Amino acid sequence: MSQKKPARTLLFAASLLFAAACSQSAFAEEAVLAPAPKVTSSESGKQTAIFAGGCFWGIEGVFSHLKGVSSAVSGYHGGSKADAAYSRVSDGNTGHAEAVKVTYDPKVIRYDQLLRVFFSVGADPTTLNYQGPDRGTQYRSALVPLNAEQAKVARAYLAQMGKSGVWKAPIVTKIEAYKAFYPAEQHHQDFMLRNPNQGYIVRWDKPKVAALKKMFPGLYSPTFKTG
């Protein structure tokens, strides 16, 4: 069972208690500088891509602090519309993954750069069906390309990562075919911005944004892109 599930379920009723418990038991994940992509993308015009990498709060927070990203929306991908609700997805049996739909301008930030940031500070590509303290298929890491160019670049980058020697364990992140993306409940949107002192955010997600700022200063934006 995910350690985060009860905390998030009781978030608005017991946030102070959760923050205290979190500070005693959780530690931030270590950022790893992923290799510079050898295959770069050549998209034009406004583009959208979907990334799954554990809790969508932190992944949304990372992408919301990137130059060229105009929107990062938390949601669910992989299952049916009927099951696209946090109460159902949390059981881990719906086929959904917590995911983030990112809208970006390739003239400012390319898809391959988004991949590098994602695997450097957002998600560990070697952990199967879990990220940090969260366990279950809903926390799997996955790339969901939305066009042929993204699919080509994603396949090439996963192969490059596997040969890079940066990670000692095998790369388990999968490429998933797009089905449908269902935005999460409103209280999950822009969560890091609206809840900067919440216990889970402080221990697990703020360090991701701090690592982004340190490792990719040219791509980092101090402004959180809402929506």
Q: Cα torsion at 213, 216, 220, 226 (round to 10°)?
A: -90
**pLDDT tens-digit map of 59-75:** 999 999 999 999 999 99
**pLDDT tens-digit map of 122-149:** 999 999 999 999 999 999 999 999 999 9
pLDDT number for residue 84: 98
**pLDDT-derived band at 106, boundaries 50, 70, 90:** very high
* Domains located in the chain, CATH noted: 40-194 (3.30.1060.10)
What are the catalytic residues? 55
Contact between residue 133 and residue 2 where contact means Cβ atoms under 8 Å apart: yes
**pLDDT-derived band at 12, boundaries 50, 70, 90:** very low
Phi and psi at residue 80, to the nearest 5°: -90, 165
3-state SS class at 12? coil
d(CA 25, CA 45): 45
d(CA 202, CA 198): 6
3-state SS class at 141? strand
Mean pLDDT of 153-171: 98
Query: How many CB atoms within 10 Å of residue 166?
Result: 16
Contact between residue 57 and residue 200 where contact means Cβ atoms under 8 Å apart: yes
| Token pair listed for 201 | 């955010």
Sign, CA torsion 118/60/72/142? positive
Element (DSSP H or E) covering residue 163: helix 148-164
Mean pLDDT lowest among 2-11, 84-93, 98-107? 2-11
**pLDDT tens-digit map of 30-69:** 899 999 999 999 999 999 999 999 999 999 999 999 999 9
Q: How far is CA 220 from the centre of its chain?
A: 16
Q: What is the pTM of this model?
A: 0.88
Q: How far is CA 52 from the centre of its chain?
A: 5
Provide the mean pLDDT of the chain. 90
| Token pair listed for 206 | 């703020």
pLDDT number for residue 227: 85
pLDDT number for residue 29: 66
